[in-house]
Structures are given as structure tokens and as C-alpha cells.
Amino acid sequence: MPTQEQDLQKARSRFLQDVLNRTISAHPSKVPSHTLKALLPTRLWRRLFTNTDLQRRENDRNEALGDAILALLEALQIFYEFEAAGLHRMDEICHILHSNETYARLLQHMSSSDPDLKEFIRGKSIKGVADTFETIACLSYLENGWEETEAWFREFNRPLIRAALEARARAPTNLEFQSWAVEKKRKSSVAWAKRVEAGEKRSGHRPYLGYITDLRQKLKRG
């Protein structure tokens, strides 16, 4: 069972992730999409889109290196450009920036001006889209070098860091997060009970009836 501190950490992470998602989707001018197509030569884009066993293995290797490159870029940018962040905030924000959800949202936004890339990631899971983003970062490093890749990355990452820091400064207190987590758990329990009860009514078999009745009484008291 997760501890209360783990629940609070998950609530804080979700709060910051939602802030980044809104920054990417609601303010597209802050995250320019036109820079992606020019990042790599046509031959590398074609290689990325090639669906062969050999190319998939190469993409897997590039994705692993791209993951490490992005993590370092994020840490360096916060360290040098946002000195007031502090160690704890730096660690917390790096964790959110480096999530599959953030990378997937970024690439989905950036692919809006590139039909081929948009088609390539269509139907992929969040993890699959994020892996593609990491692969592109690796290819940029191998083709363009560190400085050009860093300059490209800083352009769209800066507003995300700024938004996360501002949100972290006005984030709800631990008590408010705790109330949020408790309410989320309560709603989850109620939803689960309703699903089970509906299934039992259809099947005529009701092994959870006593448990659900007890759960409802506890929720009413709590």
C-alpha cells in the first residue's frame, strides 16, 4: 500500500505535469514547431521512418542515448539559467520534464507542421511517441553536435521550466494535496464498487456484496 508521503508526491507530480501539458497545448507560440523539420537532413528522417528490423534496433539504441542526452540538457539548463530553483525544486522539475508524457506532448505538438512525422507517430502509445522524441534528440546530437542540439532544446524547454517553477511556487500546501489525494481515492473506491456491483447484477453472482456494503458505510462516515 502506498504511504501518505507517496500519495502526496504523486499529487504534486500530477499538478506540475498538468501545468506543462497546458503550457504546451494552450500556448503553442511558446513551444515552436517549425524548428523540428530543419533539425535533421532528409536522409535521417527517411531512415527514422524506415520500418525494418535493422532500423528498429538502431532506433532502440538511439533512443537510449537520446534519453540520457535530454536528461543532461534539462539539468544543465535549470542549473545555469534558473539558479534560484534550489536542489529540491531542480530535482522535482527535472523529473517532470523528463517524463514520457511531456516528451509525447512536445512531439505531438511539433509534428503538427510535418505530415510524415504526424503519420509516423499516429496510433503509438505515449511511451512510443516519447521514444521517438528521444531518438530525434540523439540523431540531432550525432549529426549536429552538442551546441546546436542544446540551442534547439533550450528554445522550447525554457518556457516549460519557467511555467513549472512558477506553478511550484504557488502550488497547494501539503494539507491541500492530502485532501486532493484522499478525495481521489474515495472517488476511485466508489467507481470500483459501482463497476463490481453492475457486473454482479448481470451475472447473478455477488461475492463482493458484503464488502461493498461495508465500503459504502465507511465512505459515508468518512
Q: Are 66 and 163 in a shared domain? A: yes
My answer on whether 151 and 209 are in the same domain is no
Q: What is the pLDDT of residue 135?
A: 95
Band (1; pLDDT cuts 50, 70, 90): very low
Cell of 212: 461493498
Q: Are residues 63 and 151 in the same domain?
A: yes
Do 125 and 187 fall within a single domain?
no
Whether 211 has a pLDDT exceeding 50, the answer reads no
pTM of the shown model? 0.74
Q: Based on the domain organization, do 120 and 46 belong to the same domain?
A: yes
How high is the pLDDT of residue 68? Answer: 96
More confident residue, 91 or 137: 137
Last residue in a domain, options 138, 153, 171: 171
**75-79, 147-151, 174-178, 187-191: range with lowest mean pLDDT:** 174-178
- For residues 27 and 98, is the Cβ–Cβ distance under 8 A? no
Q: What is the pLDDT of residue 197?
A: 61
The phi, psi pair for 205, rounded to 5°, reads -105, 125
Instruction: Write out pLDDT tens, residues 97-133.
Output: 999 999 999 999 888 878 888 898 999 999 999 999 9
* Rounded Cα distance, 212 and 126, in Å: 34
pLDDT score for 131: 95
Grid cell listed for 149:
542540439
Q: Both 127 and 217 in a single domain?
A: no
Does the pLDDT at position 58 exceed 70? yes
Q: Which domain holds residue 192?
A: 175-221
Indicate the number of domains in the chain.
2
As given in the structure block, the three cell numbers for residue 96 are: 517532470
CATH code for the domain in which residue 132 is found: 1.10.1520.10
Q: 17-26, 79-88, 167-176, 192-201 — which is least confidently predicted?
A: 192-201
Name residue, grid cell 501539503: 174
CB 109 within 8 A of CB 26: no
Express as a percent the part of the chain with pLDDT over 90.
29
Looking at residue 29, what is its pLDDT?
58
Q: Do 86 and 141 fall into the same domain?
A: yes
Q: Are residues 164 and 124 in the same domain?
A: yes
